[in-house]
């Protein structure tokens, strides 16, 4: 990841979500809290892209790392 500041954009089934995280360090660990009973999630892909495929979503929010 070479962008400054580093930014992670979340996509679910190829659809950009309304949240992203900025100012992330070079190395990170992900922790997830699943609140609904019998729910789960799976990371199917983690990619470093040569250019961002994020286009922005109306009403989106950025969370600052840390």
Give residues with Cβ within 8 angstroms of 53, minimum separation 6: 9
Instruction: Please say if the pLDDT value at position 1 is more than 50.
Output: no
Q: Which conformational region is residue 53 in: left (phi greater than 0), alpha (psi within -120 to 50 degrees), or beta?
A: alpha
Mean pLDDT over 16-38 rounds to 87
Domain ranges of the chain: 1-41+55-66
Per-residue pLDDT at 3: 61
Residue range 35-56, pLDDT digits in tens: 999 998 888 877 777 887 788 8
Q: 0.75 cut: is pTM over it?
A: no
Instruction: Please say if the pLDDT value at position 30 is more than 80.
Output: no
Token pair, residue 19, equals 């949240």
């Amino acid at each position: 990841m070479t962008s400054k500041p580093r930014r992670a954009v979340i996509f679910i089934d190829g659809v950009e979500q309304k949240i992203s995280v900025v100012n992330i360090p070079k190395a990170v660990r992900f922790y997830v809290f699943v609140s609904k009973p019998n729910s789960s999630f799976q990371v199917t892909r983690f990619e470093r892209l040569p250019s961002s495929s994020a286009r922005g979503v109306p009403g989106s929010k950025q969370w600052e790392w840390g």
